[in-house]
Structure 1
Amino acid sequence: MRYTLRQLEVFLTIAHHQNLTRAASELAMSQSAASSSLKDLENQFDIQLFDRIGKRLKLNDQGRQLRPKAEALLQQAKEFEQSLMQHADAGPLNVGATLTIGNYLAVELMARYMKDHPSAPVHLEVANTAQIAEQVLNFQLDVGLIEGEVNHPDLEVISWREDEQAIFCHPQHPLAQKQARGEAITDNDLLQADWILREPGSGTRQTFDRAMHGLLPDLSVTLELQHTEAIKRAVETGLGIGCLSMISLDAAIQRGSLVHIQVPQRDFSRVLYLIVHRQKYRSAGLNSWLELCLQHP
């Protein structure tokens, strides 16, 4: 064999960082050793995998074509090593989840998975939809659980479960009082309110923007926050009204600290998705995780 797994590891780490120094540091190698490893790989096959732009190494077309195959091969090697060392069918799994899923759904799934595969640790990364999709595309994550819609030719998007977002407010808010009197909440009421929303790029914000078509330019957005709990706390203190998944609101609505505002003229339904890189090697662990998610929506 004219290449080594270490050479592939160096190639992929440099592709991730686009910087030789950071790649060498992650791999606990000297910069010269990492550079030599890459040069040896390129020279053995008379190819160039990166364009050199100053100190930055940027994947060229050849490198981009070979990267998914190298990722799959290295993943297979790691899985084989895991089986040899621990006699396990599943190895470590890197899962990405958007905020609502990460806080309210992913931990239970992780517990189920680790019960079935006690020697297979799961690492959970929580970020917004755009960030999770980017990490799956860069092979930093094995699978993503997202709230927003993504459209990329390299991503397989699997419908997972239905969800519903809801507008909510403090029990003493004028909208809650109006609803309690049996009066319908109109679009004009929504325009008069101060809003506390998730940040652009999140799946929750994407669903909100779609549902509020025609009103968006005139809405009064007081705050944009990255954390679901921060939005709930801000609404509970009377700073405005919000819109989040019912998954995150059920408990607060049940205890009466928040009120679900009914707006049947606006559609806040959505689908949650699983995303995997189309060229990602489907390890036993990854297949097991996907099956678990689809069996326990």
Structure 2
Amino acid sequence: MTLRHLRIFAAVCRCGSVTKAAAMLHIAQPSVSLAIRELEEYYQITLFDRISRKLYITEQGERLLKYATHITSLFNEMEESIQSVSEYEPLHIGSSITIANSFLCDFLAQYQQNYPKRNCQVLIETSAMLESKILNNELDLAMVEGIPTHPSIEKLPFFQDELVILCANEHPFTKHEHLSFADLLQEPFLLRERSSGTRAVIDSILQLYNMNVTPIWESASTRALVKGVQRGFGISILPYQMVKEDLQNQSIQRLYVEDINLQREYFIIYHHNKYVTPAMQDFINIALQVTTLQ
């Protein structure tokens, strides 16, 4: 005996006819007849008297109908309650500092415009910390820089950015048309902290070219690094999205280095065992739509 059996039985009682109940439920008439017969066999009772091609509910049928009505009503109430809680449950989102400065507000503004009754709780942290929180189920999804390597993390690329090499306007390198990465190693570096996604990409590039840099500044603040570059304390490598206004305002200069690829992708990540809720999918769709327009 299943909930389906009870729903079919209640429909037959309301309609007074197997044919009408089948039409109302959008199922075949034999399926309705079979469900009634299975109920009668299961409980060893007769639910309807069939007289002159009409159905008359029996006393035992009346008793079952009372319970069937209560059970189906309670089930419907449960579904509505659970779906309502799920619909308005906060979406726990993580973002790296770079992505938060570049995109997060645009994503959240569009999400809240589309779904005004939903709430988001946001954590801005390093990419490494966000990956750890995804693995511990402390976040529903996160936006990180660089490629996550843990096998339990699902990753979806949503934007391609590039790192740019920066120096002060008065730096001698601004007069060079051709620079190699080896030329840069003579200079003091101002870099993001080691736990950041940006720094991880830079370190991997340096490792690829068998080079090593010991920065004189390490900071989680991109603005602090830009200020240091402007004042001539050294050169830096930062995401274009974070410094494009500085470049447009010509407060710093970009250096172009031969034979080095500084492209990198941003990823939306979540645990591969995590159920992707409608709220998660809606946020992902918005992220993809917004960055397509960038």
Common fold, TM-score beyond 0.5? yes
Q: CA, structure 1 residues 92+186, in 2 after alignment: closer, same or farther (shift >3 Å)?
A: same
Contact 2:106 2:290 in 1 (8 A): no
Q: CA, structure 1 residues 188+222, in 2 after alignment: closer, same or farther (shift >3 Å)?
A: same
* Residue matched to 1:204: 198
List structure 1 runs of 4+ shifted beyond 6 angstroms: none
* Residue matched to 1:216: 211
Where in structure 1 are there 5+ consecutive unaligned residues?
1-76
* Residue matched to 1:284: 278
Q: Secondary structure at the match of 2:191?
A: strand
Q: How many residues align?
A: 212
* Residue matched to 1:83: 84
Contact 2:153 2:269 in 1 (8 A): yes
* Residue matched to 1:145: 143
Contact 1:186 1:263 in 2 (8 A): yes
* Residue matched to 2:74: none
Contact 2:181 2:258 in 1 (8 A): no
Contact 1:171 1:257 in 2 (8 A): yes
* Residue matched to 1:15: none
Determine whether 1:257 maps to 2:251.
Answer: yes
* Residue matched to 1:160: 158
Q: CA, structure 1 residues 296+90, in 2 after alignment: closer, same or farther (shift >3 Å)?
A: farther
Q: Secondary structure at the match of 1:270?
A: strand
RMSD: 2.0
Bigger radius of gyration among the two: 2
1:264 to partner: Cα distance: 2.8
Q: CA, structure 1 residues 239+294, in 2 after alignment: closer, same or farther (shift >3 Å)?
A: same
Contact 2:180 2:258 in 1 (8 A): no
* Residue matched to 2:260: 266
Give me the whole-angstrom Cα distance separating, in 2, the residues matched to 1:80 and 1:197. Answer: 50
Give me the whole-angstrom Cα distance separating, in 1, the residues matched to 2:185 and 2:113. Answer: 48
Contact 1:209 1:216 in 2 (8 A): no
Give me the whole-angstrom Cα distance separating, in 1, the residues matched to 2:224 and 2:146. Answer: 20
Give me the whole-angstrom Cα distance separating, in 2, the residues matched to 1:103 and 1:83. Answer: 33
Contact 1:192 1:220 in 2 (8 A): no
Q: CA, structure 1 residues 112+173, in 2 after alignment: closer, same or farther (shift >3 Å)?
A: same
Contact 1:166 1:261 in 2 (8 A): yes
Residue identity in the other structure for 1:257: S
TM-score, structure 2 as length reference: 0.68
* Residue matched to 2:130: 132
Percentage of identical aligned residues: 28
1:216 to partner: Cα distance: 2.9
Determine whether 1:184 maps to 2:178.
Answer: yes
Q: Give per-residue Cα distances to partners, 1:195-220, cap 9 Å, x unaligned.
A: 00111222111221232333532x34
TM-score, structure 1 as length reference: 0.67
Residue identity in the other structure for 2:148: V
Q: Secondary structure at the match of 2:166?
A: strand
Contact 1:191 1:220 in 2 (8 A): no
1:82 to partner: Cα distance: 6.9
Q: Secondary structure at the match of 1:83?
A: helix
* Residue matched to 2:94: 96
